[in-house]
């Protein structure tokens, strides 16, 4: 089943923060996060493996709550370059089997 | 190092025609996948492979066929194109093990009329 992302869209001013959530109805082995700009291919941001770790990538970080089958992506002090559609992808529960399933995406618009 | 290469970039087909979308990667990745992207639907998995000779169905496999005879290539065949297959198709690859992200090709925009 597709993971569920929320919100569907968010508009920010430069410097504001945002949180994008991803939840699954099944146990997860891993959660991926990607960003896609208009007309381009998705680009990998980070992966979180089961174990509840939190990762950071510049001012973008993410957490993974294995028990709740949820992940959140945190964007702090947003920049214009953060605009795009963010997708979470999930694998599980039996470990990585090459079948990464994506949510429908969250469109993020950062305004000056 | 070209990464993941998809051809063609654009294609227009008539209903009922068949064609093959090509995908090649030069990173020696074991995992390869095909996705289609439609407005509001996200990326939906069509077929995937964990290595040469091994393929499996994803979320939306009907009307598509794949094979993987080499590690590098993973072509997607449309058997009899339908307007519902109008979409942007992405190929992606990843190393084995599940601890790595996927690298996407630049996509093929397919229109079926």
Using a CB-CB cut-off of 8 Å, the residues of chain A touching B107 are: 41
CA distance B25 to B23: 7
How many contacts does A have with B, using Cβ atoms within 8 A?
72
β-strands A106-111, A84-91: how paired?
antiparallel
pLDDT for A54: 66
Q: Model confidence over B50-91: pLDDT tens digits? A: 999 999 999 999 999 999 999 999 999 999 999 999 999 999
Candidates B4, B23, B43, partner chain A, best to mutate (most A CBs within 10 A): B43
Q: Which DSSP state fits A41?
A: -
Q: Model confidence over A4-48: pLDDT tens digits? A: 999 999 999 999 999 999 999 988 889 999 999 999 999 999 999
- Do B37 and B46 form a contact (C-beta atoms < 8 A)? no
- Asked if B107's CB is within 8 angstroms of A98's CB, the reply is no
* B1 or A73: which leads in pLDDT: A73
- Residue by residue, DSSP assigns chain B as ---EEEE-SEEEE-TT--EEEEEEESS--SEEEEEEEETTTEEEEEEEEEETTEEEE-SS-TTEEE--SSSSB--EEESS--GGG-EEEEEEEE-TTSSSPPEE---EEEEE-
Q: How far is A89 from chain B (nearest CA, A)?
A: 9
Tell me what the pLDDT averaged over chain B comes to.
95
Q: Which CA distances in Å does B49 have to A58, B19, B34, B56?
A: 32, 20, 9, 6
Task: Give the 3-state secondary structure of residue A45.
Answer: strand
Taking an 8 Å Cβ-Cβ cutoff, which residues of chain B contact chain A?
A: 30-31, 33, 35, 40-45, 48-50, 56, 58-59, 90, 92, 94, 97-107
Percentage of chain B beyond pLDDT 70 is: 100
- Asked if B59's CB is within 8 angstroms of A101's CB, the reply is yes
**A78: its two tokens:** 């947003």
């Amino acid at each position: 089943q597709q993971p569920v992302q929320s919100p569907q869209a968010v508009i920010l001013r430069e410097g504001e923060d945002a949180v994008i959530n991803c939840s699954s109805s099944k146990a997860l082995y891993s959660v991926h996060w990607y960003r896609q700009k208009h007309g381009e291919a998705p680009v990998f941001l980070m992966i979180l493996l089961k174990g509840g770790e939190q990762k950071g990538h510049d001012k973008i970080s993410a957490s993974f709550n294995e028990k709740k089958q949820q992940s959140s992506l945190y964007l702090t002090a947003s920049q214009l370059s953060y605009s795009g559609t963010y997708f979470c992808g999930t694998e599980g529960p039996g470990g990585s089997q090459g079948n990464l399933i994506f949510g429908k995406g969250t469109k993020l618009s950062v305004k000056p | 190092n070209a990464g993941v290469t998809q051809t063609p970039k654009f294609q227009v087909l008539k209903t009922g025609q068949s064609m093959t979308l090509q995908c090649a990667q030069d990173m020696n990745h074991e995992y390869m996948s095909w996705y289609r992207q439609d407005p509001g639907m996200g990326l939906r998995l069509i077929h995937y492979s964990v290595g040469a000779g091994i393929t499996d169905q994803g979320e939306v496999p009907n009307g598509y066929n794949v094979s993987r005879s080499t590690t590098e290539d993973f072509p997607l065949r449309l058997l009899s194109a339908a307007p519902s297959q109008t979409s942007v198709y992405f190929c992606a690859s990843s190393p084995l093990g599940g601890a790595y992200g996927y690298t996407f090709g630049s996509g093929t925009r397919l229109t079926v009329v």
